[in-house]
Structure 1
């Protein structure tokens, strides 16, 4: 499902190996390029409204292969979901893996790898694996010199 006014450039979406996969794209959310993989039944990617997503983004809601308990054969990894809240900015090369969750108003720095759920809003994340590197921050689509002129 795509809400109104998306701007989508150079995005590949792979849906295979199952059914009931779901992609939700929020109003006025933009992406410059990357890929989304939904490769297991029931997996989903939800992207909120007013997000800005940079180049070479990877959003992957699967591990692709089974991880098994050696003794019992029990599957240890099932399908997962990725959730991006409203008003999030993802920098160049960000990777969001299965079970990643970004609350509203999150900034994710370039090349960051997000592997878990975060709950605190108004933060900047960075690193591998991602961690909070700054609190009480927000962002604007204008470049700094243009933002300075308008404020």
Structure 2
């Protein structure tokens, strides 16, 4: 019991210190009550900004990387272990969202139309990603550029979301397809 309290106190202090230090960066804002696990990377690379709401959980090993874009995470949202959120084309994640372990959110895509030019030299398309409120992404989900995951949707484990969803939809597969609507 005492060891558990010591461990809890250690992680709570560690999380508060990390939140304080991240908030010193002019382009990073992290709300009160948000916990940041060990080994997380929250970084503004090549510009951009990061805003994380109140009472969020960013679990161990998660990475939030702007790559020149903007990332906004709403209140009461959890980003679980080893999930990567990129911001190239801007990523907005709503309130009360659950993102399970090892998900990848990628708001850009390589342009590959010219077969005579190496893909990496052709640039990126950047439409961005919007994940609305009360969404649950299962473990290993990949969300690709240009997608809107609408309110109340559930995306099953290991799905690859290439197109926008309807509100309250349950989607699974590669590519993700709606199999049920929670509202009907």
- TM-score normalised by L of structure 2: 0.63
RMSD: 2.4
* Larger RCO, structures 1/2 (Cα 8 Å, 6+ apart): 1
| 2:171 is the counterpart of 1:125 | yes
Q: Where in structure 2 are the equivalents of 1:2-151 lying within 5 Å?
A: 2-10=52-60, 11-16=62-67, 19=68, 21-33=69-81, 34-38=83-87, 40=88, 43-63=89-109, 65-69=110-114, 78-118=125-165, 120-136=166-182
Larger-Rg structure = 2
Distance 1:50 1:62 in 2: 24
Distance 2:169 2:70 in 1: 27
Displacement after TM superposition at 1:132 (Å): 0.3
> Structure 2, unaligned stretches of length 5 or more?
1-50, 117-121
Give a deviation string over 1:23-71, Cα, whole Å, max 9, x none: 0101101121210123x4xx111100011110101001112x3323459
Cα pair distance change 1:31/1:77, threshold 3 Å? closer
Extract structure 1 runs of 4+ deviating beyond 4 A.
none
CA contact (8 A) 1:112 1:126 kept: yes
> SS at 1:125's partner residue?
strand
Distance 2:112 2:74 in 1: 33
Displacement after TM superposition at 1:87 (Å): 0.3
Which structure has more helix as a fraction of its residues? Answer: 2
Distance 1:66 1:135 in 2: 34
CA contact (8 A) 1:68 1:76 kept: no
Give a deviation string over 1:89-133, Cα, whole Å, max 9, x none: 111100001112100000010001001212x21110100001101
Distance 2:161 2:123 in 1: 20
Task: Show the counterpart of 1:145.
Answer: none
